[in-house]
Structure formats: structure tokens, C-alpha cells
Structure 1
């Protein structure tokens, strides 16, 4: 009996049990499809990174004597549709059984279920063997609970998987060191250069152009910097431990005009493509910490572990608990369109110019740039969450819907009405000024609310609170700001609202 096994572009787990042995009756199928390049417009670096990683993975499989059928984007026999592709291979190779790993996107999960109903052979689904949790473990954990607090989930995960634990107690005698992870970077310590790779990707770009795949963003075809093999990903992990971990937590929330990456690991693509597993990343970092406790404080490593063991698993659980309805939520009823500068970076707001231009140049921005600058501005200007979702899903190299959607529609845009976050993550320019040096060289004044040179974040912040005051009337975490809004001079608030409406009506002038 001949078996066909499908491997998707984000299932590059060389340690999967499927691959523990070879079998002449098993064929692996991988394909670069227009179905996947076209369902949203992607950054060119994202497409190139996935294609290169898939090709390297297929080469590794072949080196291990696995049988692989691989379709490149320009292959004349590539149908570019998953159902047609599977049916074609089943017929051509006389396949008796079809197997696949659980996809991490709802649309692919539904498509593969449909495909299995339509084909006339036996089928079976397997776990990806990647995450700490099963799909619905979070759902079960929060069963009958009103609040889906990440902190509760995170503590359970620490205990269950015995990460940074000494018996029943957390290392450092507290669970969360978030308050220690909020330093502004002022050059206190030198930042090592990011670990990058220099690869010529002209051939892949030529294939994309030949296939007329529509992308956006920038790329240096002679110096592609992202890791696209497991070996390169392990090098980045080791580099993070030896050069960046020591100060990661301190400056985790900082931003700086001259530093794109600061002390961030840039391992999210490696994990989201499954070239690295979250467990091996966490174990490697924790082991390095215990061997270097005299040189590295617990707040550095706990902040990193919280992002992966806590937040990453949490948002995946939220995704599968709430889909498909989650992708349609727009609780704040925001309907505005993205301005053109989201695609060009041309704006006089220095923080937005830096964060968006970096996103277009690097296919990367760290979490505070995504949440408290671009996401913050998107919410304050009341953009439609569908538009914001599509931009984030396309622009970032690590963006796959299971992780992008809860982070953007939930945490960033509060479109889920508080399922994921207990309050909207909005701020005036004061927070940006506190955590970065963006404001010092900006066209606008971070101290002004409604004058000609007033920081748009200031104006938009108070306008947003006033526009949504009925919605937040009973939100305890918004109580202080709502009380400040009530006490604001009516004439001042009127000027703010006039200025805010002018900004929202002509965003590309700002």
C-alpha cells in the first residue's frame, strides 16, 4: 500500500516521528502554490524565506533517502491548488492512503477536511509534534472560567513543563518579572550586531516575477539575511544565548532610531516554520542561563520564556478556541481604511516612519513597534480590523494566521471586545517618548495635544476615548482615563476632536 504524506510550508519539523525511518511505500509531497502566495499579499522576503526553507527541507529529506515530490512555483505541472494537487498525485502514483499533519490555519484545516471527504482513499491526520499544547488544551483549561487570563495559563505551563521551577516554586521567587523589562535604551550597553546570513536569492525572485506573484516590501537579492535551514536557525539560537540574552529582558520593550533589533532573538520565523521547536528553544535558553547565573539575571530569561511558553501557546489556544467567528469580530465598530503610508513609510510621524519603513525593509519589527506604535495608531484612527489584519499578515516574515490574528484583532485592535486583553492597548505620545528616542527628532511635539505641531497620537488618543466612552464605561481598567476624560475642559476637548477628525480625514498628510 503506497502512502502520500503532505508537508505544508510551515511544517518543516525534521524531528517529526514520520521521519524517524524510511519506507519505500511512503512519498512526501511539498509544493509552492499560488493558493498560498495569493490569499493575502505578502512581503517579498516572507515568500522567499518560506520557499528557500521548504527547498532546503526537501533536500534534507532526500539526503535521508526519503521519497519527495516537490513542485516549485514555476513548475508547469503545478496546479497551484491543494485539492487539485493531491488528487493529481494520488492518481499518478496510485496512492492508497493520504496522510497529513494538522494545519495551523483554520482555512487549511477546513480545506483538508473537505479534500479527505472527496478523495476515494483512506486518510489519516497526525499532530505536528511542535507545540507544548494540543489545539484545545487552553479551551479545556479555561472551561467555565469568565476570564481567559494569560498569567494563569502561563503559571500552569511553567508547572506542567517544569520550566524555571525549583520544586513547586518559580526560580527567583516570583512568576513574572515584567516590571523589570521596561528600560528605555540610551546606549547603556553596546548592542551586538544581529546574526544575519548573506545569500543570493536572485533566482527565487526571478521565479516569482515569472509567475507574476504579487508581493510588496523591499529585498536585497544579493544579501538575504534570514535563516532558511535548521542549521542556520540553530546558529541564530546559539548567538542569542551567547550575545543577546544577557540584556534581552531589560530592553525588551524599548525602541530606538538607530537600533532595529536591539537584543531580540529574531527566532520567530524559525519557530513558526517549525525548523526549531519551542521546547528546544526554551530548553536551550534556560540551560544557558543556569550555566551562567553569575552573569545573567532571572528577569532576562523569564521575559523570554514568557513570550514562548506563555504568550505563544496562549494565542494559539485562543485562535482555536474562538475560530472561525474570531476573524469576523469588530466590537468597536471601526471602519476606516489604511492610509497609503502603510505601504511606503512616508509620514512625518517619526515613530511610524521608523516602524513601518523597518517593516517594509526587513519584514520584521519587534513586538512593541507592532503593538504600541503601528497597532496603537491603527486603533486610534479606528481602522477596520480586516484591513489591519491583512497588512500584518502580509508584512511580517513570521506572520501565520494562528499567531497574527489573536495578536492583531485581539490584543492590538481590541476588536474581540476583551476576549484576549482586558483593555485596549492605546496610548498618547507620552508612552512612545518614555520607551524610545523617536520623539526627540520628530516633526511633531510630543507635549502638545491640538496645536499645529501637536503629536497626532496625543490628539487621537483623547478623541478615541471620547468616541468609545460608552463602550468602556464599565471597564475597570479604563476607569482612571475615563474619569480624566470627564474632567477635561469642554473647549479643549472640542479642539482635540476637531484636530483628530482632520487627521483621520487626511492621514497621508501627517
Structure 2
């Protein structure tokens, strides 16, 4: 509830689409005199062509959040995209609100993108009142905390960061600061392939209310040229609904999540994954409450340790680490291209006819749901872009556009550093390149593919097989000092010269057709 009285002049409090959390300092310290401003603006909806489902999710969640604020007694100025004289930018929305009455200051929350931070710093210089940027305390570490930790390290390794963060925050550790279960990571237990007879619970879905239906009509009208299917739309758009998704995951999916975390299955992008990244990244759920429920499930003997630790690692490990990498290396990180990849993004990523069944299936999932799980993104979509040398800027833009959980702070390091090695190994010890054997082991894509995953060269061979070796051969100079690739290069060197030539020639033919 808002503070009843305040001796201060009122503040204008800006809430962005990924800040829908009542406990944020910029929100919980508000008084009745303050005005909350929320705005659907074309500047944010169109700076890249976001998937229609992503726009609908955020606009509907924003409108429901504004309604919650009003019900709690706050004053809210909400600008709808299709409202009369709708502002075109966040700055315009702020200036209009400031012009209506006197405010002591503008209060907002540290953003998720360098672009928006620069925007806020511009406001600090140009607006007629001070602009206060509050910390985003939904994360465990601030950018400066991450920098301090990095300064104590010889190299930037997620595993070291993950251990440190768990100890610092007393997460899933014993009284003597040891990991529960005796190991910090159970990743080796999380690589079982999926099977057709395994039953997967259906995702938690929701009926659209009047607010969401109105948003869907708006998105259909304004953004029907964007890639992606808008309907059916059945995602959570309120905190209450998001909590139901979380509870269903804990009860029904978490027990098997660890075993099949890396598995892929045609026509089922959900499997046992949590589907919570949409809601954590926009603020409807808090990271801490998610891992608390998972750990409680382990303590209640309702979920095995490999599942719970794997889930904790995704949130406390990768999510926090990736954000730290982003802010520590901006500006400039998104422009890096250490492997000098320059090929344009193929139309296959936009749904054009493709004979590679794995790629086609992942794109179809993405188009339908604004979602694909992390192995689909890394080992199929990202791996193909890496092996074929697609321009990192185009790949980053695509990932940012098509996924409902994508924001630059999380998307860019995952693409630049993990998928494409475009940063030259800021935190990845080697490129995450793989041939068709990995995809065949972890999925059923290859069974109905035009290509034969067992063939290594020639027109029927799986392109991942020869593209993998061609990629390594093309970039041997760049990787000559990488000890983790030394054995792989020895394998290449032991190949018969004719086999090497056939591999390179198959790759050349495929890449020429790709162009």
C-alpha cells in the first residue's frame, strides 16, 4: 500500500515493461502523492520487430499491473499505444506527465539494456527535475558487485561465480558451506535423451480476459507484419497466474526436469522445462521465490537433486552470470565479431522452406510460441549460425526479436559468447560447435529428416557433420592456442586427405547454396 502522507513533493515513478514487481525500491517506497507512469510506446515496440506474442504478453501484463497499482490506491497514468495522442517514446510520456503538475523528481529502476540506461542518463541531464535510478534488487548482484568479484578471478568462469554466489547467499548449501548433495553441479546427470513413451504434463494455460483480448486486437492491427503467430494466446499475464505456472512446474515437471533438461523432441518444445523465463524476466515472478520452492521440493523428497540443482544453476548461475558479463563488457560487446562471420541470416530462420528438420522444427516452435528451450537455441539455431559463419549482429537481432523472454542483457551474451564465440572467449572456454551426432543423440529430429545423420559427406549427408569440421579447419589459426580443441584437431589431422577434401568440398557446396 502507498504511504499515507509525505512531507516531500510528489515523485513521478516510471515503470518499464520488464519491471512489473511491487517490491522494487522504485515502487514500494511510493506515497499517495506520487504518480506512476507506464507507457506502451512505438519506440520500444519497434526498435526491433518483436514477436507479436512477446508484445501481447508485455502489454497485457503492463495493463494488469497498472490495474493492480490502482487497486492498491496508487495514482497511475497509463498511456496505451492506441490511445488518443499516444506518446511515441518513453521520454515523451515522461515530459507530458511532468507538464501536468509539479514533481520533485523522476524515479525509475536500473534497466535491462545499455540503450535504455543511456536514455535515462540523458534524462538526468535534460529534464527539469532530478532523475533517480534505483537499483534492481531482483538480482543477487549488481554490476559493480560482479566487477568486484571478477577482479578477484584469474578468468571469467561461470562455475566459480556460481559457487561464490551460492555461498554468499546461503543457497542450497550445508552449515559448513558445502554444496547439498556433495557436488556443486549435477550437469552430468542431466543429459538423458527423451523417449516417445514418456508422458509430459501439458503447459499451464489461461483464458484471455477483456484486457488481454483488447491487447490482442491492438497487436493484430499494429504488428501483423512481425514474424510470429499471435494466436492462440494463453500465457500468464498477472502475478497470480504466473504463480500458478510456477506451482505446476514444481509439482509436475521439476521431478523429471533434470533428466531431460538437454533433450529435444519434435512438436514438443516444452517437455519438462519450467516455462518461467517469460515471467521472471518481466518481473511477475522473483528468482528467489522460484528457487525456494524448488529447494523445498527437494527437502520434501518430491524432486531429485539433479533436477533441483539444475534449476537453481539456471537462475543463480547462468542468469546472474550472463547479466554480469553484459554490463561488464558494454558498450561494444554487442558489436564484437572475433571470427569475422559475415554471411547474411538465411531465410530459413524466418520460416522459409528448409530440409534440415532440426532447424525447421526449432523455427516452427519459435514462430508458434515465441519460445524454444535453451538447447534448441544453443545447439541447433546457434550452432548452425556458428558453423555457417552468420553475421553475429543479425543473429543477435533475430534472437532478440523472436523470443518472449529476450532482453539484450540476457540475449546478447548468450548469443555472442555461448552460441557464436563472437567475443573471442570472454567466458566460454571453446566454441559450442557440434556435428549431427549430438543432435541425433538428444532428439528425434534426425528420424524424419531429408538428410542422413550417419553420412559424413555428399548430398545426402547431414550438413552439421561436414560443416563442423569445415568450421574448425577454417578457423584453425584462431584456435591454435586453445588446448580444449587440441585433441579434436589431432583427429582432423589423422583423417585421410581425400576424406578431408570431401568434407571441405561438401561444406563449400552447401554454403554456396546457402548464399
Asked if TM exceeds 0.5, the reply is yes
Match of residue 42 from structure 2: 34
Q: Partners of 1:464 and 1:251 in 2: how far apart?
A: 29
More off after superposition, 336-345 vs 311-320: 336-345
Q: Partners of 1:212 and 1:437 in 2: how far apart?
A: 34
User: Secondary structure, in 3 states, of the residue corresponding to 1:169?
Assistant: coil
Q: Partners of 1:420 and 1:388 in 2: how far apart?
A: 19
1:224 correspondence with 2:239? no
Match of residue 467 from structure 2: 460
1:148 correspondence with 2:159? no
Cα drift, residue 188 of structure 1: 5.7
1:307 correspondence with 2:314? yes
1:208 correspondence with 2:219? yes
Asked if structure 2 preserves the Cα contact closer than 8 Å seen for 1:74 and 1:210, the reply is no
Match of residue 91 from structure 1: 99
Cα drift, residue 54 of structure 1: 0.4
Cα drift, residue 490 of structure 1: 2.0
Cα drift, residue 18 of structure 1: 4.3
User: Secondary structure, in 3 states, of the residue corresponding to 2:143?
Assistant: coil
More off after superposition, 228-237 vs 342-351: 342-351
Cα drift, residue 19 of structure 1: 3.9
Q: Partners of 1:121 and 1:34 in 2: how far apart?
A: 25
More off after superposition, 209-218 vs 319-328: 209-218
Deviations 1:221-243 (A, max 9, x none): xx412111100110000000100
Cα drift, residue 21 of structure 1: 6.3
Q: Partners of 1:255 and 1:493 in 2: how far apart?
A: 30
Asked if structure 1 preserves the Cα contact closer than 8 Å seen for 2:13 and 2:27, the reply is no
Match of residue 427 from structure 1: 434
Of 232, 240, 245, 2:254 maps to: 245
Of 40, 59, 78, 2:67 maps to: 59
Asked if structure 1 preserves the Cα contact closer than 8 Å seen for 2:26 and 2:108, the reply is no
Structure 2, gaps ≥5 residues long: 1-8
Asked if structure 2 preserves the Cα contact closer than 8 Å seen for 1:89 and 1:95, the reply is no
Q: Where do 1:29-428 residues align within 5 Å?
A: 29-143=37-151, 145-167=153-175, 168-187=177-196, 189-199=198-208, 201-211=212-222, 214-220=225-231, 223-291=232-300, 293=301, 295-344=302-351, 346-428=353-435
More off after superposition, 334-343 vs 114-123: 114-123
Deviations 1:38-89 (A, max 9, x none): 1111111000000000001000000001000001111222221122221221
Cα drift, residue 449 of structure 1: 1.7
Match of residue 6 from structure 2: none
Match of residue 448 from structure 2: 441
User: Secondary structure, in 3 states, of the residue corresponding to 1:215?
Assistant: coil
Q: Cα gap change, 1:286/1:12 in structure 2, threshold over 3 Å: closer, same or farther?
A: same
Deviations 1:418-442 (A, max 9, x none): 0021100010100001111111111
Asked if structure 2 preserves the Cα contact closer than 8 Å seen for 1:345 and 1:352, the reply is no
Asked if structure 1 preserves the Cα contact closer than 8 Å seen for 2:269 and 2:372, the reply is yes
Of 7, 11, 27, 1:3 maps to: 11
Asked if structure 2 preserves the Cα contact closer than 8 Å seen for 1:22 and 1:65, the reply is no
Match of residue 477 from structure 1: 484
Q: Cα gap change, 1:22/1:134 in structure 2, threshold over 3 Å: closer, same or farther?
A: closer
Asked if structure 1 preserves the Cα contact closer than 8 Å seen for 2:52 and 2:226, the reply is yes
Alignment root-mean-square deviation, CA: 1.5
User: Secondary structure, in 3 states, of the residue corresponding to 2:77?
Assistant: strand
More off after superposition, 392-401 vs 79-88: 79-88
Q: Partners of 1:272 and 1:95 in 2: how far apart?
A: 30
Q: Partners of 1:40 and 1:120 in 2: how far apart?
A: 30
Cα drift, residue 146 of structure 1: 3.3
Deviations 1:336-364 (A, max 9, x none): 01111111153111111111110111100
Q: Cα gap change, 1:345/1:180 in structure 2, threshold over 3 Å: closer, same or farther?
A: farther
Deviations 1:375-428 (A, max 9, x none): 000111100000000000000000000000000111000000000211000101
Cα drift, residue 136 of structure 1: 2.3
User: Secondary structure, in 3 states, of the residue corresponding to 2:107?
Assistant: strand
1:506 correspondence with 2:513? yes
Asked if structure 2 preserves the Cα contact closer than 8 Å seen for 1:378 and 1:413, the reply is yes
User: Secondary structure, in 3 states, of the residue corresponding to 1:69?
Assistant: strand
Q: Partners of 2:460 and 2:207 in 1: how far apart?
A: 42
Q: Partners of 2:239 and 2:152 in 1: how far apart?
A: 41
Asked if structure 2 preserves the Cα contact closer than 8 Å seen for 1:406 and 1:420, the reply is no
Cα drift, residue 197 of structure 1: 1.8
Asked if structure 2 preserves the Cα contact closer than 8 Å seen for 1:236 and 1:267, the reply is yes
Q: Partners of 1:107 and 1:96 in 2: how far apart?
A: 25
More off after superposition, 85-94 vs 453-462: 85-94
Cα drift, residue 193 of structure 1: 1.1
Deviations 1:453-474 (A, max 9, x none): 0001011111101100111111
